[in-house]
Amino acid sequence: MLFFKFISYVFHPLLFSFVGSFLFLLLTPKHIAKRQEYIILIVIFISTYILPIFLLTLLKKMDLIKNYHLNTIEERKFPIIFFIILSFMIGKMLLNIQIVDLLAYSFFGIALALLFTYLLFKTKIKTSLHTLGMGGLIGFVIIMSIEYQLNFNIIIAILFILTGLIAVSRLKLKAHLAKEVYIGFILGILTQLSSYLLYQL
């Protein structure tokens, strides 16, 4: 069980937005100066990792959540709404730069995935944010591969293997039902592909 907990912590959902942004700036043809890349990465890291940790710490101190795992649907509602708004705002900010539009639309995809996650709360489904994040990451790398005509098959294969490991970990820890793990993964991929279709219009 310790191994599965380790996997869940190392591949935490809060990191996936930053990882996706890093891969975009690393792997795709250069659009901007290195200094601008660093600024974008720092802003995204602070916004999607540091700020959410601060929020969760605040919610715990106010006794609105029992722990940082957000085990119940009720505990997840406010953080999910917060992330929907945050992802949309980051997408809008990146769109204003006008040179990383594809990355901006990936954040719109994240906001859409989280919106569906919130709507599924009505049906008592607690979508796995771990597999949603990995699905989104895989979807975004596929999109980068299509958009720039680059071969990222090895990266995609590695991400699929990691997704399997993460999914097994979430099931072994009894954090989710199997359907919640699958729904998260499918949502992650489909919402990224949907955002890419919008980008193409």
pLDDT, tens digit, for every residue of 110-127?
999 999 999 999 999 999
Q: Which residues of 28-44 are buried (b: 16+ CB within 10 A; e: fewer)?
A: beebeeeeebeebbeeb
76 within a domain of the structure (yes/no): yes
- CA 53 to chain CA centroid, Å, is 15
- pLDDT for the residue numbered 67: 77
| 180 — pLDDT class (breaks 50, 70, 90) | very high
d(CA 91, CA 85): 10
201 within a domain of the structure (yes/no): no
Q: Which of 90, 89, 99 is nearest to 37 (CA)?
A: 99
Residues with Cβ within 8 Å of residue 166, at least 6 apart in sequence: 7, 8, 11, 130, 131, 134
The string of pLDDT tens digits covering residues 36-83 is 999 999 999 999 999 999 999 998 888 888 877 788 899 999 999 999
200 within a domain of the structure (yes/no): no
Please count the structural domains in the chain: 1
d(CA 94, CA 5): 34
Using a cut of 0.75, tell me whether the model's pTM lies above it: yes
36 within a domain of the structure (yes/no): yes
Sign of the Cα torsion 9, 155, 16, 30 reads positive
9 within a domain of the structure (yes/no): yes
48 within a domain of the structure (yes/no): yes
Does residue 181 carry a pLDDT above 80? yes
149 within a domain of the structure (yes/no): yes
d(CA 147, CA 160): 20
The string of pLDDT tens digits covering residues 133-151 is 999 999 999 999 999 999 9
173 within a domain of the structure (yes/no): yes
Residues with Cβ within 8 Å of residue 128, at least 6 apart in sequence: 167, 170, 175, 176, 180, 181, 183, 184, 185
Neighbours of 132 (CB within 10 A): 27
| 158 — pLDDT class (breaks 50, 70, 90) | very high
Domain residues for 99? 2-194
d(CA 69, CA 127): 13
